Amino acid sequence: MRRKLIVLLCAVMLLAGKSEADSKSARASVLMPAGSAAVLSEENAEEKLPVAGLTKLPAILTLCRAFDSGLIAPETEMEVSKKASKVSGPTAFLEAGERIRADELLKAAVMISAGDAIYALMENAFGSEEVFLNNIGVILREANVEVQLETCLGTGTPFSCTDLIRLGNLALESDSFLQYCGRYMDATPHQKGGETELVNANRLIRTYSGCFGLLTGSSKMDGYSGLFAAKRNDMTYLCAVIGSATSEARFAEAIRLFDNAFANYRLETPAKAGEPLEQAYPVLYGDRKTVNLVPKETIVLLMNKADGGVVTELNVPETLLAPLDPETPVGTATFYNAEGEMLGTVSLYPDETVQPNGFSDVCRRILSGYLTE
């Protein structure tokens, strides 16, 4: 699992105000840097609302986690039950009794939210919907999403934009999910011949530079919703849109939010885990004269492009005294913007163990200093 970065917001949105047209483009929306608690734009982000087919996202993530961990082998052949073949909504047109590879089922589940594929995977890998729901509950708790699913597909369950972003961060950690969410067209082959064409409803993956997923949902009653991810250079953003009146409005809102973020913000990384922030720092009374000072966590700062650079201030004794342990911090580094506003802080550790000198060594050092005066 990739390292989670600490992301701190240190800028004010340039476009804080929204026009009346913008505010009506969706019932709710939010845009955040991936892996971050920083919010760059939000509209009604916490209200739980109907999201149509996006209710399947927890189930899909649970299946992807099973593939990632090796619980489900991609080449495993699975039999489609009569119940799975009759699941309504987006479908891979699976027939009762046919056998199909697990990875083909997952492809249909991720690309088009195919309910029959999700259900077939669930029955074969977890045995029952009750067991599967328990495993979905683990995913929801890990994402800190508080919803109550009555069925594994979550039909009718409301989610907030913040809920979707939290699930999106888990999706970004799944190799199995990322393998398929960025595909626009593919096909699911059938045992008796023929295939079902799969067309991803997220058209941004082919029309918006850097977009690589994640999932969409729509219905006549709930409107058009989507969870989108886009990356350019070293910047990855997640955007959730709920309840747009049309598919076009849904995509337009996501594009507006992405465009603003990519145009106005940059990342600064003043501290990287394990990399020296200060080299050859002096040490007294030890078997080493110097050590490097390193952080144990990576600090990534989200900066407005109009801001200046990051100023680093060390809070470490002028000289360190042995003994020193790499697990015991010796000071901190604090980061400021050009206006002097604190952006964050990180503890610093010696990169090596320093043992104290013996009594005779200390006496010899004192005598040597005395004779040279």
- Per-residue pLDDT of 135-154, as tens digits, reads 999 999 999 999 999 999 99
Residue ranges per structural domain of the chain:
6-267, 272-371
- pLDDT tens figures, 345-371: 999 999 999 999 865 455 555 555 554
Residue-level pLDDT at 18: 39
pLDDT digits (tens, 9 = 90+) for 215-225: 999 999 999 99
For residue 5, pLDDT over 60 is answered with: no
* pLDDT given at position 22: 42
Q: How far apart are CA 106 and CA 55, in angstroms?
A: 16
For residue 361, the model assigns a pLDDT of 55
3-state secondary structure 147-196: CCCCCCCCCCCCECHHHHHHHHHHHCCCHHHHHHHCCCEEEEECCCCCEE
Q: Is the pLDDT of residue 9 over 50?
A: no
According to CATH, the topology of domain 6-267 is Beta-lactamase (3.40.710)
Across the chain, the runs of DSSP E, i.e. the strands, are 6-9, 28-33, 41-43, 77-79, 99-101, 185-189, 195-199, 211-219, 223-232, 235-244, 265-271, 278-284, 290-294, 299-304, 311-315, 320-321, 331-336, 342-350
Rounded to an integer, the average pLDDT of 301-320 is 90
Comparing CA positions, the residue from 253, 248, 198, 249 lying closest to residue 228 is: 253
**pLDDT tens digit sequence for 67-102:** 999 999 999 999 999 999 999 899 999 999 999 999
R_g of the chain, CA atoms, integer Å: 26
* CATH superfamily, domain at 272-371: D-Ala-D-Ala carboxypeptidase, C-terminal domain (2.60.410.10)
Instruction: Work out the pLDDT band at 17, boundaries 50, 70, 90.
Output: very low
**What is residue 364's predicted lDDT score, i.e. its pLDDT?**
54
Is a pLDDT exceeding 80 seen at residue 19? Answer: no
Q: Say if residue 233's pLDDT is above 60.
A: yes
